[in-house]
Amino acid sequence: MSKISGLIETKSLNKQLPSIVPIGAVIGLALLIVLALQPFQRTTAETRDKTQAPAINFTNANLKSSPDLERAMFAGGCFWGTQYAFSQLPGVEKTLVGYAGGNYAKPTYEDVCAHKTGHAETVYVEFNPRKLSYKQLVDYFWTLHDPTTKDRQGVDFGSQYRSGIFYTSKEQKAIAEDSMQRAQKSGKFRDKIVTLIEPATVFYPAEEYHQNFDIKHGSLSCPVPRSK
């Protein structure tokens, strides 16, 4: 302390020293935090690019696997079991699990689970209309989940588990609405169906470990209810 005091010749500088040291320490600490976070941010972005397939924009018809196939999207709670159920239908050529109906670009599973993106867990389906009609797909959809529970399927709660149909054309919209009315009048559901029927916009495929989860693991990890 005696050496420091000898360097300070005025009382004004002596009074400023206690305030100067803490400010410099705070600025230094802030810079260290920013530098430390930059590699983490880059790693997160790189991880998204490597584990998630490109988004599917429904304004681009060329993204189908084949011009002979049609596309559909359904949200019915946990997407693992729903994907497995659709993938077993004759006429279904391809399925993907992912996120739709939100307002956040390139969401990860963690983003969706944090309820900050507005996306629903969704199954993308490519099917051959000569073997399987869209009407049959929608009618089957009602047997796979409870469409009367808002933002919930069983023990799963949150908007990501909402019931939804994302139509790709005016024809699909009309078929989905008619099917929902018939399902409501069938007497199978005591409560009102709350399924949202919305236009398909952008579908973000989920991370690779989510794709065909039940087939990879040899069991129905989140089974879906079946109609009698």
Which pair of tokens denotes residue 13?
A: 């500088």
Q: What is the pLDDT of residues 135-163, one digit of tens each?
A: 999 999 999 999 999 999 988 999 999 99
Say whether 222 is catalytic: no
The single residue of 78, 85, 138, 175 carrying the catalytic annotation is: 78
Which pair of tokens denotes residue 10?
A: 């005025």
| CA atoms of 188 and 182, how far apart (whole Å) | 10
The share of the chain scoring above pLDDT 90, in percent, equals 62
99 burial level (CB within 10 Å; 0-12, 13-18, 19+): buried
- The per-residue pLDDT string of the chain (228 residues; one tens digit each, 9 = 90 and over) reads 444 334 334 334 344 434 444 555 444 454 444 444 444 333 344 445 456 788 998 877 667 778 899 999 999 999 999 999 999 999 999 999 999 999 999 999 999 999 889 999 999 999 999 999 999 999 999 999 999 999 999 889 999 999 999 999 999 999 999 999 999 999 999 999 999 999 999 999 999 999 998 888 887 767 565 443
Which pair of tokens denotes residue 165?
A: 């149909």
pTM (two decimals): 0.76
